[in-house]
Amino acid sequence: MIEWTHLRENPHIRRIGMLLLCTLTACLLTLARFGGLHLPLNAALAAALSPAGGIAVLAGGAAADFLTGNLQKQPLLLCAPALVTILRWLLNVKQTPRAAALLAGCSTCAAAVIFAIARLSDSRQWVLWAVFSLIAAGLAYCIRQVILRFGTDLPVRLHEGDTLAFSVCYVIGLNALCGLRLFQISFGVMLAAAVILTAAKRYRTTGGVICGALSALAIVLADGKAAPYAVMLPAAGFAVGMLSGKPAAVSYFVYQLCGAVGLLLVQWESAVANGLVSGIIGGLMFLLLPAVHTADQLMQWSDSEADLAALTEARLEFLSHSIAGVRGNAERIANMMNKPEPAADQFETVCETVCSRCRSRALCWENGDREARECFRQLSEADLSEKLRAPFGCVQPDLVTAAFSRTKRQNAVTRTLAARLRESQKMLFTQMRITEELLHGAGKQSRKTYHRELTRYVSDVLAKYDVPVLAAAVSTGEHHRMLIELYAPADEKLDPALIAECLCDALQRPVECCGMEKAGSEQRIILQTAGGYGVRTAAAQCAVHEDEPCGDCWDTFSDGEGAVYLAVSDGMGSGRHAAVDARIVLSNFRQLVQSGMDCKDAARMINAIMLTKSGEERFATLDVAKISTDTAAVTLYKYGAGPTFVRHGGQITLCQAATNPIGILPNAEPYTTVLKLERGDMLFLLTDGLDDALFPYIRQKLRQGGDLQTLAHTVCAKAQRESKGAPRDDVTVLAAAITDTAVDE
């Protein structure tokens, strides 16, 4: 079965679809009326499109004129887009808004001159066509600007400079749809109702009033008799915007009530009644369809903070690279300057300080050279704690042994100071590297698009329910998912589920809590809309000794960016000490990742913490599965961890590699792999307490499938039975399944 995404990404399918869209749009624009006048709209559209699009516009306009019988009544309106298409082919005009405006204006004016010279038009219409040429130029500029904005990516990020272009195109398009009717039901009025209700729900009174005024203008230009109904639309948008926090049914009722008031004022005018019926049907579209969600997928208003976010990201990245440059220079200088000082040669030092002044030097070194040298060599190699003995027959044994002891202590102090210097430099460079990574992560956070109106609206909703929030921010990330960050005092007891329910009702979109953390005197709650995939998790554990806690720890959490993390840590040994080490690794890893740090960077920082935790050798494994709820892609990070079984379709894959745990070596490098899963796939993270002989059994159970929690307990119980009731090590099974639902821990 061919998926829609594959068809949409196919360039040939997209090109054919765009040509068909241009043809249909030209047909609608041909039927549009502005106060009874026919404007050269197709000329403006052809000028804003490519040459192939211009031909499609010309064909669509000709087909519409032929079907309506207007082919001979308005030939000049057909000549203008034809001239636009020809000039674009001949002159190779650039596809910029200004070039499109110049092409549309000149072509329309040239078409009028040609018809006037051929005496096919009245010369008294020259002034009218001069005005039409200016209108065509302005429309072409606006249409081209809108096309360029839609050509980047969806959703379109609207800025203040796009307001005029999008407003003009909305009025033109809505006016054209008003001419399309079915049993006196206007498609334009239906669309206007859906747009006004959606804008008021999303952007409150500002969106409702602006869309209401633009819709009223388009409806009045299309049909002046519907003016009593149209003039009520701005008021309806204002009223619905004031009630944006109420259920959608309340907004729908108030909107229709405003239309009914307009009908009563004109005493049941047929055009107004038709508009009311059309508005009722359009409002039903708002109620029954996910209008707000669909609108967010197509278009979003971005405040001027977008430029500030880009500047903030650039500054943080520049600062991160600057610190990296300073660190690199410091490391190079340290490597050059920190050449290890050669330890003093104890043999030569003692000979120079003691033996050179001894009167028996000739007797020791000239006559008994071999014996003296062998004894001095042994004294040089002796440990500082050993008892030193001077050569046999030495006349100054105390001075010789004292000199050797003093030289050994000096060498030990030199080595200790050098080791401390290297350790301090290493710690400094590690701190600088962590600072770089934090700045880099903060820079990536600023790529989000923050919405001022939605943030203000969310703050008002929370204030209505007496939720003590210090600050709030609503943003959209890479996959266009809405993210809500709430900051509150740490001593306040907040219910994330209740807050999510309140915001669901207000935003008319499903919102779920994916994280709640405390840091200092503040706590943060992260909520987000659901992605295309869900993750269901289950876990099972058994300890070596029933009277001691399990030395393994597991955790599942979300980073607020649309990723769910499964993490398992196995402390060295078993029991309480192992559980403490595993909990330290997992708790720090979760906090660092949720603060915006990358998995590898967080693991490096935890590795440094474990290395300096105590003088004892204590370490813990770390096994992480990062699951994207937008794409179902899974990234595995393994630091000395056990195996991971992945069921994708009908295949079972074992992911395992020999790596070092956290807290052993200064540089912790993981085994990493990326897998693309689908709905129904599973993955099992296992600690190394399971015997390899159980792997075929685990494969069989995964292939059979079933309830996730039952599978986890079955595998864990099997490991315990195989070990005759006492496993050789703690056993933990953390399982996950890709679903259609939200995250379920």
pLDDT tens digit sequence for 678-692: 888 889 898 876 777
Q: Are strands 181-182 and 185-186 parallel, antiparallel or unpaired?
A: antiparallel
Give the H/E segment covering residue 551. Answer: none
> Over 70: is that where the pLDDT of 324 sits?
no
Return the structure tokens found at 663. Answer: 């807290």
Which of these ranges, 87-96, 531-540, 642-651, has the smallest mean pLDDT?
A: 87-96
Residues 6 or more apart whose CB falls under 8 angstroms from that of 392 comprise 371, 375
In angstroms, rounded to a whole number, what is the distance separating the alpha carbons of residues 571 and 552? 6
Segment of 264-268, 372-376, 391-395, 526-530 carrying the highest mean pLDDT: 526-530
> Over 80: is that where the pLDDT of 91 sits?
no
> Over 50: is that where the pLDDT of 659 sits?
yes
Give the pLDDT band (50/70/90) at residue 589.
confident
Give the pLDDT band (50/70/90) at residue 243.
confident
Give me the amino acid identity at 130.
A
Answer yes or no: are the C-beta atoms of 485 and 472 closer than 8 Å. Answer: yes
In angstroms, rounded to a whole number, what is the distance separating the alpha carbons of residues 537 and 745? 5
Higher pLDDT pick, 464 / 437: 464
User: pLDDT value at position 692?
Assistant: 75
Higher pLDDT pick, 740 / 316: 740
Tell me the whole-structure pTM to 2 decimals. 0.56
Return the structure tokens found at 717. Answer: 């119980």
Phi, psi for residue 344 in degrees, rounded to 5:
-65, 135
Tokens 């987000």 belong to: 528
DSSP states along 42-78: HHHHHHHS-HHHHHHHHHHHHHHHHHHT-TTT-HHHH
> Over 70: is that where the pLDDT of 425 sits?
no
Higher pLDDT pick, 239 / 529: 239
User: pLDDT value at position 664?
Assistant: 81
Q: Are strands 622-628 and 651-655 parallel, antiparallel or unpaired?
A: unpaired
Return the structure tokens found at 7. Answer: 């068809």
> Over 60: is that where the pLDDT of 610 sits?
yes
Answer yes or no: are the C-beta atoms of 627 and 567 closer than 8 Å. Answer: no
> Over 60: is that where the pLDDT of 725 sits?
no
User: pLDDT value at position 325?
Assistant: 64
Q: Are strands 156-158 and 299-301 parallel, antiparallel or unpaired?
A: parallel
Segment of 68-77, 231-240, 735-744 carrying the highest mean pLDDT: 231-240
Residue 505: count of CB within 10 angstroms of its CB: 15
User: pLDDT value at position 372?
Assistant: 66
Answer yes or no: are the C-beta atoms of 534 and 740 closer than 8 Å. Answer: yes
First to last CA, the chain: 33
Average pLDDT over residues 342-357: 66
User: pLDDT value at position 637?
Assistant: 93
Which of 91, 116, 115 is closest to 103 using CA atoms? 91
The pLDDT tens digits of the residues spanning 333-346 come to: 566 555 555 555 66
Look over the chain and give the mean of its residue pLDDT values, rounded to a whole number.
Answer: 76
User: pLDDT value at position 634?
Assistant: 92
> Over 60: is that where the pLDDT of 318 sits?
no
> Over 60: is that where the pLDDT of 566 sits?
yes
Alpha-carbon distance values, 233 to 188, 356, 406, 676 (Å): 13, 111, 97, 49
Tokens 């211009």 belong to: 54
Residues 6 or more apart whose CB falls under 8 angstroms from that of 323 comprise 432, 435, 436, 439
User: pLDDT value at position 626?
Assistant: 92
Answer yes or no: are the C-beta atoms of 93 and 140 closer than 8 Å. Answer: no
In angstroms, rounded to a whole number, what is the distance separating the alpha carbons of residues 134 and 376? 106
Average pLDDT over residues 238-256: 84
In angstroms, rounded to a whole number, what is the distance separating the alpha carbons of residues 100 and 139? 9
In angstroms, rounded to a whole number, what is the distance separating the alpha carbons of residues 55 and 53? 5
The pLDDT tens digits of the residues spanning 126-155 come to: 677 778 788 888 888 888 888 877 765 666
Question: Percent of the chain scored above 70 by pLDDT?
Answer: 73
Return the structure tokens found at 561. Answer: 């960016």
Answer yes or no: are the C-beta atoms of 396 and 358 closer than 8 Å. Answer: yes
Give the pLDDT band (50/70/90) at residue 635.
very high
Residue 700 CB-half CA count within 13 A? 8
In angstroms, rounded to a whole number, what is the distance separating the alpha carbons of residues 62 and 79? 10
Tokens 């693991």 belong to: 603
> Over 90: is that where the pLDDT of 230 sits?
no
In angstroms, rounded to a whole number, what is the distance separating the alpha carbons of residues 153 and 94? 21
User: pLDDT value at position 322?
Assistant: 58
Q: How many helices (H) and strands (E) does the chain have?
A: 25, 19
Answer yes or no: are the C-beta atoms of 711 and 701 closer than 8 Å. Answer: yes
Which of 496, 497, 487 is closest to 521 using CA atoms? 487
User: pLDDT value at position 625?
Assistant: 92
Answer yes or no: are the C-beta atoms of 590 and 555 closer than 8 Å. Answer: yes
Higher pLDDT pick, 662 / 404: 662
Proportion of the chain in helix, strand, coil states, percent, rounded to 5: 60, 15, 25
User: pLDDT value at position 743?
Assistant: 41
> Over 50: is that where the pLDDT of 3 sits?
no
In angstroms, rounded to a whole number, what is the distance separating the alpha carbons of residues 509 and 535? 19
> Over 70: is that where the pLDDT of 511 sits?
yes
In angstroms, rounded to a whole number, what is the distance separating the alpha carbons of residues 710 and 714? 6
Report, in angstroms and rounded to the nearest whole number, the Rg of the chain calculated over CA atoms.
38
> Over 90: is that where the pLDDT of 236 sits?
no
User: pLDDT value at position 2?
Assistant: 44
Return the structure tokens found at 460. Answer: 């008002």
> Over 60: is that where the pLDDT of 447 sits?
no
**3-state DSSP call for residue 156?**
strand
Q: Give the angle subtended at the CA of 360 by the CAs of 357 and 363, to the nearest 5°.
A: 135
As beta bridge partners, residue 565 has: 557, 626
Question: Percent of the chain scored above 90 by pLDDT?
Answer: 2
The pLDDT tens digits of the residues spanning 519-556 come to: 777 788 888 877 778 888 898 888 777 767 787 888 98
In angstroms, rounded to a whole number, what is the distance separating the alpha carbons of residues 603 and 601? 5
Ramachandran region, residue 641 (left: φ > 0; alpha: ψ -120 to 50; beta: rest): beta
User: pLDDT value at position 653?
Assistant: 87
Answer yes or no: are the C-beta atoms of 359 and 396 closer than 8 Å. Answer: no
> Over 90: is that where the pLDDT of 636 sits?
yes
> Over 50: is that where the pLDDT of 57 sits?
yes
DSSP states along 657-685: -----BTSSSS---EEEEEE--TT-EEEE
User: pLDDT value at position 744?
Assistant: 41
**3-state DSSP call for residue 319?**
helix
DSSP states along 606-664: HHHHHHTS-SS---B-EEEEEEETTT-EEEEEEES---EEEEETTEEEEE------BTS
In angstroms, rounded to a whole number, what is the distance separating the alpha carbons of residues 643 and 633? 19
Segment of 123-132, 217-226, 573-582, 723-732 carrying the highest mean pLDDT: 217-226
